[in-house]
Structure 1
Amino acid sequence: MLFRLLGPIEVLGDDGSAVALPGTRARAILAMLLVSRPDVVSPSQLFTTGRSAKDPVNALHVQIAKLRAALPEPRLVSERGGYRLLTRASEVDADVFADACEKGRELARQGDPAAAVTVLREALAGWRQPAGYDFAEVWRVRLEELRLAALDTVLDAELTLGRHRELVPELAGLVAEHPLRERFAELLMLALHCGGRRPEALTVFGDLRRRLADELGTDPGPRTSALHLEILRDEPEAPLTPGGNLPHPVGALFGREPDLEAAGRLLGERRLVTLTGPGGVGKTRTARELGHRLRGRFRDGIWLVELASVARDGSVLDAVAATLLDGEPAAPARDRLVAHLREREVLLMLDNCEHVVDDAAEAAELLLGRCPRLTVLATSREPLNIEGERPVPLAPLALPDAIRLFRDRAPGVRDGDAAVGRLCARLDALPLVLELAAAGTRLFSVGEIESRLDDLANASRRAPARHHSVRALLDWSHALLSEAERRVFAGLSVFRDGCTFADAERVCGATADVLAALVDKSLVVAGPDGRFRLLETVRGYAASTMDTSACHNRHADVRIAFAREVYAGLSSPRQQELLACFLAELPNVREVTTWLLRRGDGPRALLLQGLLGYLWYVCGREAEGARWLGRAIACFDADPRPGHDGPLAVALAWHSYLGRVSGVLPDPWAPADRVRTLYRTTADRDGVRIALPAIAAVAVHLRPGAESLACLEEAEEVMAEFEHPWLRAILDAVWSEQHRRDGDLAAAVAAAEANLRYFEGIDDRFGVVFSHLRLGDAEEHAGHRSRARDRWARARDVARAGHAPVKRGYAELRLAYLDLGDDPSAAVTVLERIRAEAAELAAADLGAAAANLLGLAHVRCRDETAAVTCFLEAVASERALPVRTAVAAGHLTALAGPRWRPPVEQAVERIPDPLHRAALGVLLRNLTGLDDLGRALSSGPVCTPLAALV
């Protein structure tokens, strides 16, 4: 039986049908007996469940008799002192609910939020408000509190799993329903802040504070107040950390329990476990199931990096960085990842390592060696063969499990287990092959599929024996395709990580019917993102079925057309949309560029990468962009062809610019100098004139004086020849920098204002941030500190909204620089945060600048020991601008002695920028032992120390 106390009182029989209960009085008696279990309930207590009667004892006996007669089993017994209702385990829905809540909370305490969510959500789905009997008020309140505690636990677990945005409506409803329950307001603040809605999170706290003050005369508790402070500082702690990117497994997994147990046990003992086995054995599916089961074990989440889309000559570290650090600045992947993972407790899943096994091994060895809390789970056809690795080989399924999988994937099959078992054995019980065969049952019987295997088993003799049945089944599936389906199937192999329908149509001549047929036959996977993909095993086979060079060629044309669209629309309100499109197509951009380079097509490689130059900059991948541009230029130089001076000039200009800002080029002026030569010698003015503003931007920093002015004049010459508002705005920004170095601050401000007006007009967030920073610098240089503060604050806010953490850090450093003289103790707190963020982002120059300013704050607080520590950190930063080293070594000279003067002089020799030199001179004039060097450097433009410090 089942007794229901949640909602109206009900009793269900063993068959699930409702038991007919007597009237209201009898139901109230049953409710009291259920609530009071296992205690005996006295007649005097039961008298209170109804109206008074002339003969209450007899009336009670009548109701008890009716209840006994109604219940299918003799459960209501008389005992000394009253009556007792006998129940078994799980027979009362309120008990089931309470047990599930306790189980869910225990799972959460054990660190398994995913399992806790499953248990608690199922329990809460069955919740109904208990009947409102006066005698049950205490029980009802206790049960309601249990429900609210379960909601607290499940919502906290789901936030841990990264479901921030989805939970906002539910949490907002709970806050409205329970306005004084502080915990729900705290969880809503977390969900809003992690979902990118920081102002609304702060509003929730303000509303809570007012309600508590008005109704209770109190303030929010310390935990909620601490969270409020963290959000104000934009410093989320571990609860704000997303739970990773691991998708929930789809479909049942058969026959892998022993493997899951073994791998799970090893991951508790070792930091590198590799699932190995032949293609199609189910390594990826098993790894995802294992990750799902281990979600609660890793505080900072489980991150899946799919290496199938990485080219054989690609970079595993870049792929990991793109997954974990998407949108962050493109410092070298090695440094960024180590900084990001050094203190994090993460399970990193490297899936499909076999085609990049050496690179994957190097990446895993590096990260595991430098990040002590990191654990790696890899999948590969062969082990990575590095120290500490524990391989877990996956064998084909046992025959009973193979039959279960086949029947699950082909539910309409009526053949007996003997026939299905023979087929599964012929297919080596490989899950991938079984799923492909199951798809074939829509057209053929199991016997027909088996009979065709011998005819279609034309596997390569050179392939390992375990691959023969995979090849045989793919051959068989391919033989069943129409000519149009075969053509599209082969053509889809040119895409890396899938494509949209529009691209499949343009490149392969695909139609909706043909793609649907290929999806239906399990040869193509249709993703929820609208993209069509080939499994990597299938992709390699598809490429071997026919010559795909024509498709590769059309794919290159499609990517170049896409790059033209991006180039035309990136400096517009479509910037965010195009940026998302580019990130989705990035594997295809790499694939096409690699194909063009391999066939020596330098002209089209130049064109593609040159058009994408600004995009590499906007999306924070300057280092990768510089590398691709360098390879495209080298390819063209190996076989130069006339008529391509324009694309060559654009590619050289972006190579120079991105190489300078990323630090990957030892001599970023060399490609810039080639552009200037082209400008003087080529007849292709259209192409070269686009490149000159970028060359001027590089020249201002690397070739100050007459050469930078000459570059600016050349850029102005081409600006007079054609109308290009975006390039005009870029050139205005470069002029602002040049005017500051010339000491013409009014012109610097005017040029920066023109630059800002344009970027605001087209809603270019990145341009707005850079413009506000530049304009603030000019205002501060001119002595207008309040105006500079306003500009930098605006840059900080836009950078935060536009997810530009490094630019936000530079804006906050400038604001801290203004505040340094007023309250150095407060500046210490801010600067320590920025320095920590810079380490997370592996932003070396930002970190060195923050360390220098923090050192100055400590000097003003008379804490010389802390100051020396900060300056030593800045000196040790290898990738920061040389002026940061000079500032740090200069202050170490004043604090620790003259042995630090030689590093100052060496750094000064590496500073070409006159503004940096002059700003450094202002600082050094006031330092003991360096006043002479400071006076010599101050012969440049009159300025403040800002350019040297920030």
Structure 2
Amino acid sequence: MAHFGILGPLRVCHDDDEIRIPGVRPATVLAVLLVRQGAAVPMDVLIREVFDGEEDVRDPRKQVQIHVTRLRKLLQPLGAGIEWQGAGYVLALGSGALLDAHEFERLRDSGQAAARSGRMLAAAGDFRAASALWRGPVLAGLHGPVISAAAARLEETRLDVVEDRIDADLAVGRHREVVPELKGLLAEYPLRERLHGQLMLALYRSERPSAALGAYEEARRRLAAELGADPGPALRRLHERVLRQDPDLAATPEEPPPAELPMDVRAFVGRCDQLRRLAARLHRPHGERPGEPVVLAIDGPGGLGKSALAIHAAHRAAPHYPDGQLYVALHGATPGMEPLPPYEALCRLLRALGVTDERLPKSTDEAAALLRTVTSRRRLLFLLDNAASAAQVRPLLPGGPGCAVLITSRAPLLAVEHADRLHLDELDEPEAVALLAALAGAGRVRAEPEAAIEVAALCGRLPLALRVMGARLAVRTDWTMAEAAARLRDARHRIDELQEGDLGIRSTFSFSYESLSAEEGGEAAIRLFVLLGLLELPVVGSGVAAALAGRTEATVRRALDRLVQAQLLQVAGTGRFAMHDLMRLFAREKAAEHISFDEARSAIQRAAHAYLATGRDAQLMLLPALAGRTPLGPPERPRDGPAFGAVDQVVTWIDAEGPNLLRIARQTGGLPDDQLTIGLAAALFTCLQFRGPLPDLVELALLGLTAARRSGDGRAQATMLGNLAFAHDRRHRLDEAAACLGDALRLWAALGDTDGQIRTLNKLGIVHVHRDEYERAAHCYTESLRLARTRASKIQEASILNNLGALMNKVGKPADGHQLLRAGLAACRNEPDVQLVGMILGNLGTASRLLGRLHEAVSYFVDSLRQVTKTGDLFTEAESHWLLSEVYDELREHGRARQSREKAVAILLDLKEISAGEAARILGDPSPEMPEPIRRQR
């Protein structure tokens, strides 16, 4: 939001950042445009203002035009603009922008309206808020006829507002408080008779009548000395009334406005973005649409601190609502209590606003209408806490455009019209640790920072859980943070540790759970909820949820919608749903109560089979050469058809499901179903080898290898050893990779599986290349090629020729490499293996580069990238970008080279293969070496 200030030195801000105006002359132009905002300012006025008193100015019109151009560029990001409209330049501030002088006038008008209607407390609040906008003399440091005239006018208005506010303060009994202020003002403005009169009245009401008469004599003396005149009629009448001690001079204070907000939350930390967003609306108590109040609805699951945020934001905004702040606990999710009926809530609000019981209407509609009438001219802040539904809230909305309403609820109140909605999630890590420190003691967090981070994570970064644990730590001073973390680490008892009496996670979650179970048709949603708790997956798609429940996807979608509405699940994308870690532990407690061990195991197996089927489809799309092989693991279960129609769909699925793939294999590893684990490990390894983190690849291969050995499946063992070797090779653990491939080769030979031997020899050749054992690599490739030709496998032959060609490049024989690679490209020309084609083209680019044919190399690398990006193989994509950057550098196209390097580094950062520091070092080096993660690829 843009803020412009003229009530003091010129100031321009965008959100919280101040924009520097470059020089006095551009500042003067902007100041004049702001002073006459919305009206055209002629060029001659601007010239006179900017060059006031200067002579022999060269082309002043051109100079003003230059200043305007600079200001336009400066103001454009703020949504403001300067346009020439026939008679002169016009400044348009843009939607939502604020000018402090306009805000000052709005508050002045509001205060005067409140004073005319006898609401002097509200008037005093408006006048005080208006005066607080002044930061010093108007446009201090800038000069000119227009600026001087505006400064004089605004200064006079400011003094009028100060006097209006003192009148309001006197009307509500603040006479003693204003006496020192009035004496200070009179020292600065000794000829303002209104101030003299206010001082006399304040002194009289402070039971100092003689001092009041003395103040009159001082006023008479000063006016005579300065102006040669007597006091005016109003001051003389006041003098007479003081002399006769007129009883009507006594103050008649108003009843104080309602101030019902609960006590502000102790140790409130974090939520800075949300507080800023709430303040942007609450501190401007007028709706975007004329005649409507501001309505803000905060929703989110239990335990996230919705009420704490709303109360804290309301306290900060309270000064902007001088007619009062009202609070109603609606009990929409209070254990053991029914939601408060709208009529009862309306009666509470109307009583707080001064409506007697005799005047209270008998129906909800009539009471809602009276509330709108009573609030139509007031500036009130409503906090409607813990709402059950939109139907409960709608009758409670006020009618005045100067009012604002803060609503908290678990479910989103979509049917509350014109409400700005704010959904809360858990705190981020620094906020969670800061809250823990505020409750348990900052010294304890500083002493054990890692343990504190773990405690915050195990509390799910939920404010309620952190408050319970923070309170327990505050009492148990003998506990260390490490001990608290150890207590929470045991998932079986974590919820117990986060419960203190009726306050805690279990009671908060139980309300939503029990409310759902009480609904008609809620049984299906409850069953799905407890089954979802069994899965160790952060996010679940509707298809997997359907398999888990053993139901159709259409049926399960209805249950998922109910769980989202109850805030037991969160939407995490189209057709995808997330369950908080602590909510999952709660769901498991309920699962232990309601379903058997065999039923739980069957549900997990059904979900795993859904991943297996999709993973096999993805595997075939990524590596079409696998189409002729019998997949490892259990046979296919009946299903509707392949999950994917194109590789880009596979990539999207892998990116979405990446965190789940290892977890589902890990979970099946604990079940007595080795074939299922083998099948998952085989299919999902292919997916992760293209895009997943390397540690996941290692663990996935080891899970599959353990299951294969346990079941005695030799073919699975050999495959998993090959996968493990691939992962070790990527991590540059070459001895371990070679050992795995040696074991795999022996297993394939014992099984009489020639295809397995071909693949393993090919992989072993790659490892020998990485160990700089080029003769051994050539031997492996040659033997592998011989076997492949006996099988008449063009794909295998092309893969081996690619590796042989890359080896020739490496040993300084690029011409031989080029020939082998061209043969490999021809061999797979009619095969649908996009990845292999991309790799061959990349190696051809390297051969061309070594042969000095740099433009040809660029063409090959670009074609390679085009193929590789279709597969989603990020490692090879990063390598291709880097190789292209090196050729561009040799061609002295350094701009393109840097662009390609930046793309390669960005991919490695996303893969977490390099740190941000390494990325900066690489990009800061004018001639960097190829990063280690890519070098392992070659």
User: Do they fold alike, i.e. is TM over 0.5?
Assistant: no
Q: TM-score, normalised by structure 1?
A: 0.42
